[in-house]
Amino acid sequence: AEPLRVTGTPTVRVKVASTAADGSAVLFAKVYDVGPDGRQQVLPAQLVAPVRVDGARAGKSLTLTLPAIDHEVEAGHRLRLVVAATDLGYASPAAPAAYTVTVEGPLTVPTAAGLDTQAAA
């Protein structure tokens, strides 16, 4: 297998349902590069995509747009999508709520062909 160059903004289609009184949800999405040994890193540079979803009491479909990436995924590595209800960089909601997130399609990642260069003479 060859390395894969991810260059651009990954997206994924999800359906979100919320039990919050106002029917909203605040979620945080991120992509990890996971090695064969299980070690992982958040792409890019620990960034997350915060998203507020209104009108989700009965469920609402939307496309999550994640932070732009320029990263080479080595052969044998996997990409992992994580959608969470909290993130250390943001305040937690004051009122309790339960969220259901269903992935409705694949994680789409833009790729670029590798470029071989020659040393300057």
| Whether residue 114 has pLDDT greater than 90 | no
Q: Is residue 118 part of a domain?
A: no
Task: Look up residue 57 and give its amino acid.
Answer: R
Q: Is residue 87 part of a domain?
A: yes
Q: Is residue 113 part of a domain?
A: no
50 backbone dihedrals φ, ψ, rounded to 5°: -75, 140
Q: Is residue 116 part of a domain?
A: no
Give 106 or 119, the one with higher predicted confidence: 106
109 vs 77: CA distance, rounded Å: 14
| Residue 120 to residues 113, 114, 115, 116, 117, Cα–Cα distance (Å) | 22, 19, 15, 13, 9
| Residue 61 to residues 12, 57, 85, Cα–Cα distance (Å) | 11, 12, 17
Q: What is the pLDDT of residue 116?
A: 63
The range of the structural domain enclosing residue 47 comes to 4-107
CA neighbor of 53 nearest in space, from 26, 77, 28, 20: 26
Q: What is the pLDDT of residue 49?
A: 93
Q: Is residue 119 part of a domain?
A: no
pLDDT of 5-27, one tens digit each? 999 999 999 999 999 999 999 99
Q: In total, how many domains does the chain have?
A: 1
CA neighbor of 26 nearest in space, from 104, 96, 84: 84
Task: Look up residue 91 and give its amino acid.
Answer: A
Q: Is residue 89 part of a domain?
A: yes
